Amino acid sequence: MKASPSLILCAAFALAISIPAQSQSGSNQTQTRKSPGAGHEIASGGGDIGKGTAKGAGSLAAGTGKGAVDLVTLHPINAAASVGKGGAVAGKDVAVGTTKGTAKVAKGIGHGIRHIF
């Protein structure tokens, strides 16, 4: 994908305008809490996706391990229940992590696009 010269020019112009405005406004404003930057939001979202996936994998492994122990000790009904519960909890963990992470990534992309235009 090639960037058009007009897009590059617009981005450079927006950056040039925003830099002096930021340095001047910092001395006159009171302390306010700034929202995290676009890069931070995207990275945080990626981290949430990774945490959800890791937590889900741990739940799946725990359920599978408990199911294997139940199967060895001749408790096949408990084994099936343990594996099923581990799979369900793993699915929930992955879904929650992915949803939260995707929302943060989308928010970060929105911040980035807003700064360009």
d(CA 89, CA 91): 5
d(CA 67, CA 73): 10
d(CA 105, CA 6): 27
Residue 55: burial class (beta carbons within 10 Å; 0-12, 13-18, 19+): middle
Q: Which pLDDT score is estimated for 36? A: 75
Single-letter amino acid code for the residue at 114: R
Q: Which contacts of 24-33 are long-range, i.e. CB under 8 A and separated by 24 or more positions?
A: none
Mean pLDDT along residues 26-41: 70
Q: Which pLDDT score is estimated for 111? A: 84
Instruction: Note whether 21 and 70 are within 8 A (CB).
Output: no
Closest CA to 63 of 44, 41, 86: 86
Closest CA to 59 of 85, 24, 27: 85
Q: What is the pLDDT of residues 68-103, one digit of tens each?
A: 999 999 898 999 999 999 999 999 999 999 999 999
Give 114's pLDDT tier (boundaries 50, 70, 90).
confident
